[in-house]
């Protein structure tokens, strides 16, 4: 059983056990408060047998993970730890969280600007998270705390750090509304701390969610009814995060091919020219590439349904403007219909009098040299006659159907 270390918020060392082969789809398993990572070992073994790479991690102050020198056990630290772990994994995992672990995961994933995981499974939403007391939740929870204390599994400072459960309740509820990945909520049917009503109330906020109730399960249903829970877990993963990647073959669904093409991260451009009346026209495009340095050639691909295509085919010059991170609103503007795209846009002209978007990451003025008709697009090849760029800025990116930004780890 290989042990893996992650660097969490503030440099805190976080320790995990791993099961299966790292090249397989990843599943990150988070225990509840006071629980050690070993609680997930049976589930991790089942996941590994099913062709998954399972990672069971100790929270800060738990098990073999470090106790923070500053005693920081606030919500923000746990959320930041999880985000740091996800940045150090080689692929986006599905996340499985028992009680507290699931609540932290929901908060982190819903608050993120882009998807950090492929799916989420959490257990037993509480009736009133703000009323929680880590020392006196319920006899059932206290028994678990006592057992883990005997194992030396957590830092007692967890109970003196003033963790704000009211803040957790608010943030996880708001985050649930923004969750963009498939989710599963599992409730133990005999859990006195969670009701069908509280489970439904949380699920109502999550766009893509399933609810499962396991009869006879309590607060730690994932471990008390492990066989049933693991069966539901594997079913959810195979349906929503399949082990075998989607595949396109000739004649099958074009959406699958589109998603496959979306795996290539690109920059975002606004391509511009003039219409026969001399008025500026332009649109957002990410089908752009350098073709040659000698001579300096680039290409853009425009769909045959684009209304301004005739202008690009007739005008001898066009411009390509690569957008930086601060120009996402500009990308949205030039991708929309029915608006005067240049009315509020700062632009200028150079030698060939086509619009140049001012303050872009880079702009190229091009003379049209060739046109190729292929499929549902027209490929225009242009010779770059003038270029300007700003090396201090970072690009606006597009990947998997969403805007992205560079992440520096």
What confidence tens digit (pLDDT) does each residue in 346-368 have? 999 999 999 999 999 999 999 99
Let me know whether 195 and 343 are in one domain: no
- The total number of structural domains that make up the chain: 2
Q: Is residue 255 domain-resident?
A: no
pTM equals 0.69
- What pLDDT sits at residue 280? 97
Among 31, 22, 99, 23, which Cα is nearest to 14's?
31
Q: Is residue 41 part of a domain?
A: yes
What is the bridge-based pairing of β-strands 119-123 and 183-188?
A: parallel
**158 and 79 both lie in a single domain:** yes
57 and 172 share one domain: yes
Digit-coded pLDDT (tens) for 240-264: 888 777 777 777 777 778 878 888 8
Query: For residue range 280-333, what is the model confidence (pLDDT) as tens digits?
Result: 999 999 999 999 999 999 999 999 999 999 999 999 999 999 999 999 999 999
CATH number at residue 391: 2.30.110.10
pLDDT of residue 137: 44
Domain annotation covers residue 11: yes
Q: Look at residue 38 and tell me if it is in a domain.
A: yes
Strands 402-404 and 397-399, bridge-based pairing: antiparallel
Considering the domain architecture, whether residues 294 and 388 belong to the same structural domain is answered as yes
Exposure string over 218-243, b if 16+ CB within 10 A, otherwise e: bbbbbbbbbebbbebbbebbeebbee
Partners of residue 317 on adjacent β-strands: 367
Residue 229 and residue 364 in one domain: no
103 and 150 share a domain?
yes
Domain that holds residue 283: 260-404
The whole-number average pLDDT for the span 389-404 is: 88
Compute the distance between CA of residue 328 and CA of residue 268 in angstroms, rounded to an integer: 9
What are the pLDDT digits (tens) for 214-226?
988 887 888 989 9
Span 127-131, average pLDDT = 52
Among the candidates 240, 271, 296, a domain finishes at 240
Same domain, 167 and 199: yes
> Does residue 250 lie within any of the structural domains?
no
Q: Tally the C-alpha atoms within 13 A of residue 155's C-alpha that lie toward its C-beta.
A: 19
Does pLDDT of 76 surpass 70?
Answer: yes
Q: How far apart are CA 123 and CA 169, in angstroms?
A: 15
pLDDT at 129 over 60: no
Residue 254 belongs to a domain? no
Closest CA to 49 of 28, 29, 24: 24
131 & 161 share domain: yes
Q: Using CA atoms, how far apart are residues 379 and 301, in angstroms rounded to an integer?
A: 5
The answer to whether the CB of 96 falls within 8 A of the CB of 124 is no
Look over the chain and give the mean of its residue pLDDT values, rounded to a whole number. Answer: 88
276 within domain boundaries: yes
* H or E segment and range at residue 89: none
For residue 377, name the pLDDT band (cuts at 50, 70, 90). very high
User: Do 149 and 283 fall into the same domain?
Assistant: no
Three-state secondary-structure class, residue 361: coil
User: Domain for residue 153, yes or no?
Assistant: yes
Tally: H helices and E strands in the chain: 11, 20
Same domain, 12 and 154: yes
φ/ψ region of 210 (left if φ > 0, alpha if ψ in -120 to 50, else beta) reads: beta
- Give the C-alpha separation, 284 to 291, whole Å: 20
Check which CATH number belongs to the domain holding 71 and give it.
Answer: 3.40.50.1820
> Do 226 and 353 reside in the same domain of the chain?
no
- Which whole number is the average pLDDT over 368-376? 96
Is residue 235 domain-shared with residue 283, that is, in the same domain? Answer: no
Q: Which is nearest to 99 in space by CA: 35, 17, 18?
A: 35
């Amino acid at each position: 059983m290989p042990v893996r270390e992650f660097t969490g918020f503030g440099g805190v060392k976080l320790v995990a056990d791993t099961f299966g082969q790292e090249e397989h789809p990843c599943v990150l398993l988070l225990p509840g408060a006071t629980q050690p990572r070993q609680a997930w070992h049976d589930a991790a073994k089942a996941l590994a047998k099913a062709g998954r790479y399972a990672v069971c991690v100790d929270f800060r102050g738990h098990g073999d993970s470090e106790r923070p020198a500053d005693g920081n056990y606030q919500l923000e630290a746990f959320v930041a730890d999880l985000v740091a772990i996800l940045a150090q994994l080689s692929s986006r995992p599905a996340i499985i969280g028992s009680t507290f672990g699931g609540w932290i995961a929901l908060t982190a994933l819903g608050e993120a600007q882009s998807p950090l995981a492929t799916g989420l499974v959490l257990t037993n939403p509480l009736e009133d998270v703000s009323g929680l007391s880590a020392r006196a939740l319920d006899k059932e929870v206290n028994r678990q705390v006592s057992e883990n204390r005997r194992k030396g599994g957590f830092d007692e400072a967890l109970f003196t750090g003033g963790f704000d459960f009211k803040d957790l309740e608010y943030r996880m509820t708001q985050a649930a509304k923004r969750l963009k990945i498939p989710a599963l909520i599992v409730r133990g049917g005999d859990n006195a701390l969670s009701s069908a009503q509280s489970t439904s109330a949380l699920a109502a906020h999550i766009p893509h969610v399933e609810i499962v109730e396991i009869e006879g399960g309590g607060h730690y249903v994932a471990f008390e009814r492990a066989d049933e829970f693991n069966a539901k877990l594997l079913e959810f993963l195979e349906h929503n995060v399949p082990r075998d990647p989607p595949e396109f073959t000739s004649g099958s669904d074009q959406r699958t091919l589109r998603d496959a093409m979306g795996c290539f991260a690109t920059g975002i451009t606004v391509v511009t020219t003039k219409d026969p009346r001399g008025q500026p026209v332009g649109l957002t495009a990410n089908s752009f590439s350098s073709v040659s340095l000698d001579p300096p050639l680039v290409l853009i691909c425009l769909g045959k349904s684009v209304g301004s295509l005739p202008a690009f085919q007739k005008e001898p010059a066009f411009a390509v403007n690569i957008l930086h991170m601060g120009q996402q609103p500009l990308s949205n503007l030039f991708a929309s219909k029915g608006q005067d795209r240049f009315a509020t846009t700062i632009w200028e002209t150079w030698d060939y009098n086509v619009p140049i978007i001012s303050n872009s990451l880079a702009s190229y003025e091009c003379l049209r040299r060739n046109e190729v008709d292929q499929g549902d697009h027209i490929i225009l090849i242009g010779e770059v006659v003038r270029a300007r760029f700003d090396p201090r800025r970072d690009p606006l990116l597009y990947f998997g159907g969403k805007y992205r930004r560079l992440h520096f780890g």
